[in-house]
Structure 1
């Protein structure tokens, strides 16, 4: 192992130790801030662990012997959420999906995608399904969402089982199932869930490549394909690729590093280039290709520099000052011109003092990390700007069971949502404890160092670009769940390294 490798990852371990300590403090703080049910649930679980540790262990072992039953219950939960939902899609996703299904004017979706070309892939995906299935596409998207969510659980389970141990695999299964399997995210048709199986497949292939001594040309080609598909939906899929390349580079095996990067680069470039060309040539929607009209990389840096890291109105207000007053009310007014973006970034940076900038980063990071419910924000349809109301809502509106599900799980301001949020927050605390356990001390382990680096890279990305919502952690969720499972397993039983 090269000295450069050791030095780099020992420094990373110290940085992650501080980051995870902050993360743990944040999630505990927000758990204690919940109504009495949050504190009560924590106390009960703590007492059970201290007094009935063996009983809890047997219960967990019994549950792990009946995973099919748990998956069935999760599937029934997901179906119940889909059938009870009053609101299927909201905000940006609603514009994209309704545009793909011809439920809004063509000019509206054209204007939107001209401004937000990052959502073109999702639009074409939904429009392609529409050509095949018509208005039934909205339900097909729900079915696919269930497949994506549960398929990701299986891939991550296999990562733990194939490259570590059954105990780690069981822990991955448990954390994922509680945090996402039993969650309302199944009805969300945005790229958060759609990209998950591709991100999980990336992780599987990279851990496999780090574990094997051979060059793994076929796996590298497959990794390029999966990465291309993932990055079309979520450009942050490249963060984990950078971490993978850095591990190989720092190990000092130049022949393997050059081979891996060459094969991966060619495979990725061929697929991604073909997909990009196809999207540029598409005729489904008219898009005006003008950099002054479209949000680009600098737009999201600019947005990330707003105090919360996600204040769209503040970002637009800042850019509009460079536009003539008579043109400011126009939707496509050219405010996203690169020159305007750079001026605004400089202005925002100069407006911060060292203390206020640290406060901005702390506030943004806290809001990125704190929420065990993963920033679920669905409300009543009448409170949404661009909702896509479920066609079943007219039949379930007065159904008592459906209303209880809505008030407990779907509407974050519902009567019983606090209980759901408290359960999620307790599990989120446990998840972060597991992450902290991984970085407690340095380990010269390629796969673990790779996972830590990719998670750190994800956090750094969210601090530079748009951040400030726990939902954004979903694009790094495979790393979070796997790392936490490794940490929790090591804390309770000695495990061989991944």
Structure 2
């Protein structure tokens, strides 16, 4: 592993970031990655307890845990949608998630993408259980559980909060339509208390933990990620990161990033900025492999290992670059996985198009969630499809619903 997964996994296994050639201030810059590191540390302590002490044991163990989360996500999605919609939509959406995520070898990398994917589906599952609860006590319990999971999800990826915003809007509209204003207040209070309590507990744990020291004076402000999201392809900018590190005063750092935002808006103008956003949206959504080929060559080193059997060689040929070469500007291996998954991704997007005319409260929940996710990626750092993984559960639901809508219309037309 490399980049962020390397930093989190090394600290989880009690290795020094400096000895690994990584920035010792990483968690001060990005404190949002603390919780996944803490989870890794708990898992590392468990492995030590049962007699496993090697870093490779941790990598394999966390990889297996990641696949368990992905597989469990697929099962939970099926159960949830079977309750929220019907068996047809449930089967179609689950099949899409199985193809797009269940067969992806990069899920072996323990990082926040698959954790956020799992949390998104857990939230859908809780909503399904709430809708079909037959007692007030159960509804209260599921509301509290929802706030708890959102609180945990916020510290994994803050964007998991988008689904709860969408749900709040839809629930308020639905209950207001039925004139159940008291229910809006009660459910809102329960959620805020549960989420707020979880947030405060994790926040205090993060500030007083024994795993890694976080200096919040060095933390990159939100405006830093907005500024990066406005230049180039709207993605990561090393020059911006270096400049933010050089500026020691938090207030001066905020001013610097605010000035960058103003500069980009001034230079692009309204028309130029809209054109930029259109191109960025394409970058955000175009790649059905979710951009893992852009993550650095550490994913491809195993291709060059000697002593591989025929099955291992075939797997690498399907999922990796041609002859294992992963250099800047290299051609993508379109002979295997990338071509196949891109064709499937196109079908998924077409399915989403056919969901646009569906207007039930339940389908609107997923539309709002996707809209919120897309807006977030347009405003903040994005520019590649890997960031889309956290919103895939909602996209898969819309695609399954759209395909069902299309198949039903075609069946009705040709059965006349």
Taking structure 2 as the reference length, the TM-score comes to: 0.85
Q: Could you list the per-position Cα deviations for residues 439-466 of structure 1 after superposition, in whole angstroms to 9, with x for gaps in the alignment?
A: 1x252x1111111111111111111111
For the residue of structure 1 that corresponds to 2:24, the secondary structure is helix
For the residue of structure 1 that corresponds to 2:216, the secondary structure is coil
TM-superposed deviation, 1:475: 0.8
Q: Give the aligned CA root-mean-square deviation in angstroms.
A: 2.8
1:350 aligns to what? Answer: 266
2:74 is the alignment partner of 1:157: no
For the residue of structure 1 that corresponds to 2:209, the secondary structure is coil
Q: Could you list the per-position Cα deviations for residues 298-339 of structure 1 after superposition, in whole angstroms to 9, with x for gaps in the alignment?
A: 11111111131103125347x46xxxxxxxxx7675587222
2:2 aligns to what? Answer: 90
Go from structure 1 to structure 2 and tell me whether the alpha carbon gap of 1:213 and 1:437 turns closer, same or farther (over 3 Å shift).
Answer: farther
Q: 1:264 aligns with which of 180, 184, 191?
A: 191
Q: Could you list the per-position Cα deviations for residues 164-200 of structure 1 after superposition, in whole angstroms to 9, with x for gaps in the alignment?
A: 2222221122101111111123212110012222210
Go from structure 1 to structure 2 and tell me whether the alpha carbon gap of 1:379 and 1:368 turns closer, same or farther (over 3 Å shift).
Answer: closer
For the residue of structure 2 that corresponds to 1:486, the secondary structure is helix
Go from structure 1 to structure 2 and tell me whether the alpha carbon gap of 1:451 and 1:176 turns closer, same or farther (over 3 Å shift).
Answer: same
> How many residues end up aligned between the 2 structures?
387
For the residue of structure 1 that corresponds to 2:190, the secondary structure is helix
TM-superposed deviation, 1:394: 9.3
Is the 1:106–1:285 Cα contact (8 Å) retained in structure 2?
no
Is the 1:171–1:485 Cα contact (8 Å) retained in structure 2?
yes
Q: 2:63 aligns with which of 139, 142, 162?
A: 142
Separation in 1, partners of 2:320, 2:98: 17
For the residue of structure 1 that corresponds to 2:266, the secondary structure is helix
Q: 1:375 aligns with which of 283, 291, 309?
A: 291
TM-superposed deviation, 1:351: 1.7
Counting only pairs closer than 5 Å after superposition, residues 67-106 of structure 1 correspond to structure 2 as 89-105=1-17
Q: 1:430 aligns with which of 341, 347, 360?
A: 347
For the residue of structure 2 that corresponds to 1:309, the secondary structure is coil
In structure 1, runs of 5+ residues without a counterpart are 1-88, 321-329
- More moved, 334-343 vs 278-287: 334-343
2:173 is the alignment partner of 1:250: yes
2:214 aligns to what? Answer: 287
Is the 2:7–2:17 Cα contact (8 Å) retained in structure 1?
no
Q: Could you list the per-position Cα deviations for residues 54-79 of structure 1 after superposition, in whole angstroms to 9, with x for gaps in the alignment?
A: xxxxxxxxxxxxxxxxxxxxxxxxxx
Separation in 2, partners of 1:277, 1:309: 33
TM-superposed deviation, 1:406: 1.9
2:328 aligns to what? Answer: none
2:414 aligns to what? Answer: none
Structure with higher RCO (Cα < 8 A, 6+ apart)? 1
In structure 2, runs of 5+ residues without a counterpart are 48-52, 325-331, 411-416
1:233 aligns to what? Answer: 156
Separation in 2, partners of 1:297, 1:207: 33
